[in-house]
């Protein structure tokens, strides 16, 4: 048994000794290194190893959750004892019980390839060399004022144990690099462009220099940006920008939102809410997936789950607590990897099919109302004229309703964004309201 699992079991025992009927504890340890390089030299190096413990307590029908980074045995015992005492003064909640052990069964064993041993062996020299490569690439244009390159990596281990028979362990590694280039425009303006790549394995990531080249290209493409017109037109969303748009649309699938009446998707299971082109599956078992897992935070064994099929809402993210309140069987309370049903053309080909429209490269601020689905987002991008990417535009908003917007999803690309657990491709929407001049 690992020392982490032993610590989790010890915490559960302490809770039971203090009077809890049930407890769930998780312990984790992370090592992370970050190197920031700017304009020819190292600017900041951060390196640390961190650990912590979280514990959920079930005491006389009451519930609380706690976390601490002070793991000295005497402090931890006092902390848990106090936490149990605190729980006793709350009110009994009939819906709150420790997850049913039946949910722990049939845990998958497929190798998720979460750990690349090479990440832990990266040397400072290698990290600096990669940053220097990005920095050099980002400075290949005379208009660049400053460029910041960041290399970040880490390894983590964790373990969880419960008083009703759960135990499980996990580990993971990651390596990422990011670059931001800032260029001068006129007297005061300094538009910037960014790009990043991240993965669990070093192998498969693009060359650091190509990430910097993309950041530089994006910065240069911002030069001469103006405010576009107020117009209703076609919107093409870049895969990277589609990640957060889809994430907003899907957040109200949680049972907590639905039970609290704060979801525009409440009561829509089995109904067609979105366009035919939208099919999304939650897939926790993707090898090397950024959010792949064998079980979720409640110990529920992982399985693939259709979320949306050809526009029809199939499943919600149901945890044990809100599931019980709603009378719904638990699925999982949290998202893993989300994979879309793909079309057959990449971004460039899809733009070529649009005679007039706006290509959104990134969002700036904005928000949405999960209860009604109303949204309004700031954006940057380009005009599309005659199937070609035109002048850069910015300082504009797009406004509407998420259900109505995705009902008008016309085309899905074949080019999923690989550096997010939500692998969004290019999305094309018709008849979208933009605000500009």
Partner 1 sequence: MPQTLSRRSFAALSTLGLGLPGLLAGCRGTTKAGSTTMIPGEHAPLADHLGWFSVDKPTIARVMSELTSRGADAADLYFQYSRDNSITMEDGIISRASSSVDQGVGLRVVVGDQTGYAFTEDLSLEAMLAAARTAAGIAHGGAARGPVEFKQRQRPSYYALSQPWSDIQTVQKLPHIERLNALARKADPSIHKVTVSWADGEELVLIADMHGNIQTDIRPMTRLWCMLTAKKGDVTQSNSANLAGRHGFDWYTEERLQFLADEAVKRTMVLFDARRPPAGEMPVVLAAGASGILLHEAIGHGMEADFNRKNTSIYASMIGKKVAPDFVTIVDDATQDGERGALNVDDEGNAVEKTVLVDHGVMASYLHDSISAKHYKVKATGSGRRESFRHSPMPRMRSTYMENGPHTREEIIASVKKGIIAETFTNGQVQIGAGDFTFYIKNGWLIEDGKITAPIKDINIIGNGPEALRNVTMVANDCKLDFGGWTCGKDGQSVPVSQGLPTTLVSKMTVGGENV
What are 410's two structure tokens? Answer: 């016309």
What are 76's two structure tokens? Answer: 């931890």
Helix (H), strand (E) at residue 56:
strand 41-59
Q: What is the DSSP string of 314-325?
A: ---B--HHHHHH
Kindly give, in sequence order, each residue whose CB lies less than 8 Å from that of residue 74, ignoring residues fewer than 6 positions away: none
Cβ closer to partner 1: 79 or 316?
79
Find the length of the chain. 437
181 vs 208: CA distance, rounded Å: 14
Cβ closer to partner 1: 17 or 189?
189
348 vs 350: CA distance, rounded Å: 5
Cβ closer to partner 1: 334 or 372?
372
Closest approach, Cβ 431 to partner 1, in A, equals: 12
Closest approach, Cβ 65 to partner 1, in A, equals: 5
Cβ closer to partner 1: 249 or 339?
249
Question: Using the 8-state DSSP alphabet, how is residue 101 labeled?
Answer: G
Strand partners, 33: 47, 153
Backbone torsions φ then ψ of 183, nearest 5 degrees: -115, 155
Cβ closer to partner 1: 375 or 419?
375
Closest approach, Cβ 180 to partner 1, in A, equals: 8
Cβ–Cβ contacts within 10 Å for residue 276, how many?
13
Cβ closer to partner 1: 66 or 294?
66
Kindly give, in sequence order, each residue whose CB lies less than 8 Å from that of residue 269, ignoring residues fewer than 6 positions away: 313, 314, 315, 316
């Amino acid at each position: 048994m690992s020392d982490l699992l032993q610590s989790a079991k010890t915490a559960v025992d302490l809770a039971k000794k203090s009077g809890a009927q049930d407890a769930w504890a998780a312990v984790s340890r992370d090592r992370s290194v970050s190197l920031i390089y700017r304009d020819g030299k190292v600017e900041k190096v951060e390196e640390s190893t961190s650990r912590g413990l979280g514990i959920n307590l079930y005491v006389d029908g009451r519930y609380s959750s706690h976390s601490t980074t002070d793991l000295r045995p005497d402090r931890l015992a006092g902390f848990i004892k106090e936490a149990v005492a605190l729980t006793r003064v709350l009110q009994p909640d009939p819906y709150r019980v420790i997850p049913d052990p039946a949910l722990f069964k049939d845990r998958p064993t497929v190798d998720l390839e979460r750990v690349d041993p090479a990440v832990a062996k990266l040397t400072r020299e290698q990290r600096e060399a990669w940053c220097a490569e990005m920095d050099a690439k980002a400075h290949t244009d005379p208009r660049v004022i400053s460029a910041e390159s960041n290399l970040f990596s880490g390894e983590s281990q964790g373990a969880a144990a419960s008083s009703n028979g759960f135990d499980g362990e996990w580990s993971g590694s990651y390596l990422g690099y990011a670059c931001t280039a800032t260029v001068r425009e006129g007297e005061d303006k300094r538009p910037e462009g960014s790009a990043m790549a991240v993965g669990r394995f070093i192998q498969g990531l693009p060359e650091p220099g190509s990430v910097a080249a993309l950041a530089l290209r994006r910065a240069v493409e911002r030069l001469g940006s103006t405010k576009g017109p107020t117009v209703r037109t076609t919107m093409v969303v870049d895969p990277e920008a589609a990640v957060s748009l889809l994430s907003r649309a899907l957040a109200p699938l949680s049972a907590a939102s639905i039970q609290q009446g704060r979801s525009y998707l409440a009561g829509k299971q089995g109904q067609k809410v979105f366009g035919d082109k939208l099919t999304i599956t939650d897939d926790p078992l993707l090898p090397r997936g950024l959010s792949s897992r064998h079980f979720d935070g409640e110990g529920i064994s992982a399985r693939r789950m259709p979320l949306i099929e050809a526009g029809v809402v199939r499943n919600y993210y149901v945890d044990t607590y809100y599931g019980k309140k709603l009378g719904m069987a638990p699925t999982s309370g949290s998202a893993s990897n989300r994979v879309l049903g793909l079309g057959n053309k990449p971004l460039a080909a899809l733009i070529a099919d649009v005679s007039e429209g706006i290509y959104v490269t990134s969002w700036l601020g904005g928000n949405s109302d999960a209860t009604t689905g109303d949204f309004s987002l700031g954006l940057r991008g380009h005009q599309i004229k005659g199937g070609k990417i035109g002048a850069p535009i910015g300082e504009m908003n797009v406004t509407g309703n998420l259900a109505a917007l995705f009902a008008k999803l016309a085309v899905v690309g074949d080019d999923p964004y690989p550096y997010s657990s939500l692998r969004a491709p290019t999305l094309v929407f018709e008849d979208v309201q933009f605000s500009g001049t």
